[in-house]
Chains A and B, each alone.
Chain A
Amino acid sequence: MGSDARQPARGRHAWRWGRKIATLALSVALTFLGLLFVTFLIGRVVPIDPVLAAVGDRAPAEVYERVRVELGLHLPLYQQFFVYLAKVVQGDLGHSVLTANPVTKDILRVFPATLELATAATFFGVLLGIPMGVMAAVHQGRWPDQILRVVGLFGYSIPVFWLGLMGLLLFYGRLDWAPGPGRLDVFYEGLITPVTGVILIDSAMAGEWEIFRNALAHIVLPAAILGYFSLAYISRMTRSFMLEQFNQEYITTARVKGASERSVIWRHALGNVRIPLVTVIALSYGNLLEGSVLTETVFAWPGLGLYLTHSLLSADMNAVLGGTIVVGAVFIGINLLSDVLYRVMDPRAR
């Protein structure tokens, strides 16, 4: 009996969820379409001849012409786009001209490197950035705040390229604390079969703890330098969020009630700040996942940033578009994730 009565309500519920998911899927699809279209257009408008990447500067005219046709560049622009789109829908991102590999294979190789570095950097940024932001807010205007402001300012304003080189020079060149550039020492190269592509995970799964340690040692310096930037951002944002909370009446109430200062700061104030902080962290993680060309250059870290830049400057459009899809998917994924976290953490959004 009871279940009969609830049937229509459940149906409405399901219908509402179905519509929500359909809307979401549609907006994701449209975002991708727009993203691909714009990237495609930019790639074609850039005054770089894509055939050059395929055949080089010396190729005779016949070879050049033949490859131009092979790449479909003789077709009108809109047709080129639809041909590409049709393939993407079938899951075929095409071949990269530069590496002779399917783009999917290339991305599966370079993206885990970026993922590993960006995740480590974000850990660094969050674990140090939030306490630093809280400290600055608590001691607003006094010396800890000033010091942390300078630290943050450095993070914003020093070119990562310079910082990376100096970091290598000091910790690797002089002090010998950190290993050199690259993801592993040379002699471990090729010893581990990529499963996820994230060396830390692959080596742990294979039980190769020596390689794991080596990979960990290699990631500390680049992750710290890359993380410094998200640290600067996260700590500044935490500080201003916290200050905003300190002016609220509920904080005064808590203090009047006799709650310890520690509990006021860490439980009451930070408890309310964590929701906007999720967005801040997600954004900075997303940015790092695009790949950081400069850090990757200095540390010879074969990630997405280097791959995309190199492809773009050679007008290797399949690779650029494939990379764009990945970056787009990462952003959409992170946005969805932070939405979900919002719902979990904020009772009002449930």
Chain B
Amino acid sequence: MKHWFPVVLVLIVGLALTPVHAATPKNTLVMAWQFDDIITLDPAEIFEFSAAEYAGNAYDRLIGYDVTDVSTIYGVVAESWQVDSDGKTYTFKIRQGIKFASGNPLTAEDVAFSLQRTVTLDKSPAFILGQFGFTAANVRDRIKATGPYTVVLQTDKTYAPTFVLYCLTATVGSVVDKQTVMAHEVDGDLGHAWLRTHHAGSGPFKLNQWKPSELLMLDANADYWDGAPAMKRVIIRHIPEQATQQLLVEKGDIDIARNLGPDQIKGLQGNDAVRIKSSPKGGIFYLGLNQKHPALKKPQVRQALKYLVDYDGIAETILKGAMVPHQAFLPKGFLGALEDKPFALDPDRAKKLLAEAGYPEGLTLTMDTRNNFPTLDMAQAIQSTFAMGGVKLEIIPMDGKQALTKYRARNHEIYIGRWGPDYQDPHTNADTFARNVDNSDDAKAKPLAWRNAWDIPEMSRQTDAAARESDPDKRARMYLEIQREHQEVSPFVIMFQEIEVAAERANVKNFILGPAFDSNFYRHVTK
């Protein structure tokens, strides 16, 4: 105890002698990313953003789309396809020469097995295939390998072919190695327990290790059929704190920082060593107005609230490039997306509408709000503009899952939420924002329209019709029409479309941020 001073000295010297770190290795991509949402690595179960990105890099899917123009789709595992005149039978020709990471060749049998497996396991994303009439009972007959490199798929009804094909571009369309997966089957689980933490794909990368909320390490697949990636390894660290991510990318200890807020982006501007890149994503921010609330049920009140949000102001001062104003339920880039923005902040008009509805003195409402950026910040801005129209808004901050639990029980007044499309076809959002076939409390499906108790038999029919229209132009027009009506009358104040932003070191090239979370690709990266 007497000689504490030398101890301090040793500590300080020890600190000072720490070696100065070098840049990241030339053939390794190092990334900081919040990936604590990953709960599974099985493509039949993956439904979270981060895991979807993993699947996009570690598995091949039947079909892909051009990341710069989603309306162009092309074959990946499927070399070509054909739709029969009845509009229900799809025949896929499978590309030859693809190998899984195990060395097994990829055949039609693997493709059929993967799709059957998704339907049979019936995990969260299985409905993406299930909506075409596939069930655990019939899928073995409806999706079949008819030759070593031919797969035939039969839907129950005629659907828009684009609808079917876009669904196969989703993560559930990933092809898994039947032999490897079945070697790990336990109690008829089709290898699910094993694949949740392992890999059996043919993608440009294979899994080295995954430590939840800590580390995700991928190794290049040197035999990848479309050319081996330049990066031999991708190391992704879970760095929860945004400011820490900024520091790491500034120092060059990582190549890419994936979760930066407006403050960090601003801090990095003017730094020549770091480049900011961004890509519009499908996520949409909206207010959901519960139609069980007597005031929110009045059309004029719904309209009034749409005139009480300062769309441009929030985008400029709070979101600073993280989102752009958008007022229709289909995100820009989707087939039939409506880009009109009829609403702007107009308190006088809102007051008039509220008076018409019988609230000349205004009213008080509550809003359930996730206590994170940017939700809470947006909510505060909305609170102040609502006040300009005489609407007193009480913000109830809560944790994400708690807010969601309350929302799903329809116990909210207003919910400020985010919705991301499940696949790249317009039906994904139309199905949730503009379709509600059973508004009863114990309904089976609980789309957003249901959660806000919005009973819309006619619009639901229109949505169904659009999903079955095989002429793409006509289909796009149908969606435009639905969105125009939706924009005016719906209990959704649709406000913004998300933009994903990443900061990369200046020497990093060709990291692709696509329009969806499963289309962020590492395979072309060089540095």
Contact = CB atoms under 8 A, between A and B. Distances in A.
Interface of A: 46-49, 52-63, 66, 97-101, 106, 109, 124, 127-128, 130-131, 134, 165, 168-169, 171-173, 176-182, 185-187, 189-190, 213, 216-217, 220-221, 224, 262, 266, 270, 297-300, 302, 306-307, 310, 313-315
Nearest to A299: B244
A338 to B, nearest CB: 19
Given A58-B47, A101-B197, A48 B212 contact: no
Interface residues on B, range: 35 or more
B122 A315 contact: no
B476 interface: no
Interface stretch (B8-16, B272-280, B322-330): B8-16
Nearest to B3: A131
Contacts of B443: 61
Interface in B206-244: 208-209, 211-215, 217, 235, 237-241, 243-244
Interface stretch (B59-67, B386-394, B401-409, B478-486): B401-409
Contacts of A128: 4, 7-8
Contact of B124 (A63, A217, A298): A63
Interface of B: 1-2, 4, 7-8, 11, 14-16, 18-21, 24-25, 28, 30, 36, 39-40, 47-48, 122-127, 130, 196-197, 208-209, 211-215, 217, 235, 237-241, 243-244, 247-248, 250-251, 253-254, 399-402, 404-406, 408, 422, 443-446
B40 A100 contact: yes
Contacts of A109: 211, 214
> Which are the 10 A-B pairs with shortest beta-carbon distances?
A99-B212, A131-B4, A302-B214, A59-B124, A217-B18, A49-B405, A100-B196, A61-B444, A48-B401, A300-B239
A195 B240 CA distance: 26
Contacts of A177: 15-16, 18
A310 B36 contact: yes
Nearest to A50: B401
Contacts of A310: 36, 213
B39 A60 contact: no
Contacts of B2: 262, 266
Which of B4, B25, B39, B122 has the most A CB atoms < 10 Å from its CB? B39
Contacts, number: 171
Contact of A165 (B197, B211, B243): B243
Nearest to A124: B11
B445 A60 contact: yes
A172 B40 contact: no
B405 A52 contact: yes
A186 B24 contact: yes
21 contacts: A47-B405, A49-B405, A49-B408, A56-B48, A60-B126, A63-B122, A98-B36, A101-B197, A127-B4, A127-B7, A128-B8, A130-B1, A180-B21, A180-B244, A181-B241, A185-B21, A217-B18, A221-B15, A262-B2, A270-B1, A300-B244
Contact of A101 (B47, B212, B247): B212
Contacts of A172: 247, 251
Nearest to B41: A100
A221 B8 CA distance: 14
Contacts of A173: 247, 250-251
Contacts of B16: 177
Given A61-B446, A165-B241, 9 more contacts: A66-B122, A124-B11, A178-B15, A181-B239, A187-B24, A189-B217, A189-B235, A190-B217, A297-B240
B15 A300 contact: no
Contact of A53 (B24, B39, B235, B444): B39
A109 B214 CA distance: 10
